[in-house]
Amino acid sequence: MRALILPLLGAVALTTACTTAADPTDSPSSTAPTTSTSAAPSPLDPPSPTASTRTTIPTSAFVELPTELRKSPRRATDVAEALPKLCGNEFGTGGRQVTASAAMTLTYQKAGDPVSNTPQGLIHQTIFAFEGDGAADYLRRLRSAVEACPTYKQAENPVTVKSQALPGVGDEALLLNRTWAETNLNGERTGYKASSQIAVARVGKAVTVFDDQGWEGTSGNPAILDRVVRDGAKIIDAWQR
């Protein structure tokens, strides 16, 4: 997915150790030294100055894959790289009520795959912390933006977007399914369809966005994403208590 420039995102502080960001095409077995990461606030759209305290999003607030699905350790990722992009800046509309944001990337495999196999896909998880009614406002704006973007182009190939409610996840959740004509590594169409999903859940005053991407343009795994989303919402709920 193309990187998204996000002028609105606030300060990020991961309070526990995590691996540093790497390009998704890096070898799954390579890891960087563990560090604590933080990001300076965007000068164009900083966190709300009325926030009483600075919010921190710990690594423990993010979901982790079960061992049998984990191809490599999760890693910290820039929020601008982790958020999906459709027709425009649909997922970057948190506004000044965002008090913090952070992102991690999970690399998954099929259960039972040998170590020599390539990963099956990536899931980028972003967490926004809001003040006031910011989380609910974000979901409302996002629904409107998605409805206005039934199709868009990715590398000149049309992508169809369909959305639906995702029941039983957090306080409210949305599931987006993207479908396009599959191509091989040379950019030639295979005659098949490929698809991937985006899930967004509001849990209290936080919103989490999961962007599932199949490895090297292939389809994502809806079953793994569904499990990750439901587990992730529960973890965020526990973090906020």
Per the structure, the complete domain to which residue 67 belongs is given by 12-19+33-240
Domain-located, residue 195 = yes
Cα–Cα distance between 21 and 7 in angstroms, integer? 20
Query: What CATH number should be reported for the domain holding residue 160?
Result: 3.40.1000
- pLDDT tens for 64-111 read 999 999 999 999 999 999 999 999 999 987 888 999 999 999 999 999
Q: Would 128 be classed as within a structural domain?
A: yes
Closest CA to 154 of 86, 207, 88, 78: 86
Q: Give me 72's structure tokens.
A: 């490599």
Residue 25 domain-assigned (yes or no):
no
Count of domains in the chain?
1
| Ordered per-residue pLDDT tens for the chain, 241 residues | 333 333 333 333 344 433 333 333 333 333 333 333 333 333 234 444 444 455 789 999 999 999 999 999 999 999 999 999 999 999 987 888 999 999 999 999 999 999 899 999 999 999 999 999 999 999 999 999 999 999 999 878 899 999 999 999 999 999 999 999 988 877 778 888 999 999 999 999 999 999 999 998 889 999 999 999 999 999 999 999 8
Report the alpha-carbon distance of residue 188 to residue 216 in Å, rounded.
14
- 101 part of a folded domain: yes
On whether residue 1 sits in a domain, the answer given is no
State CA 101 to chain mean position distance: 11
Residue 127 covered by a domain: yes
Q: What global pTM score does this model have?
A: 0.77
pLDDT score recorded for residue 54? 56
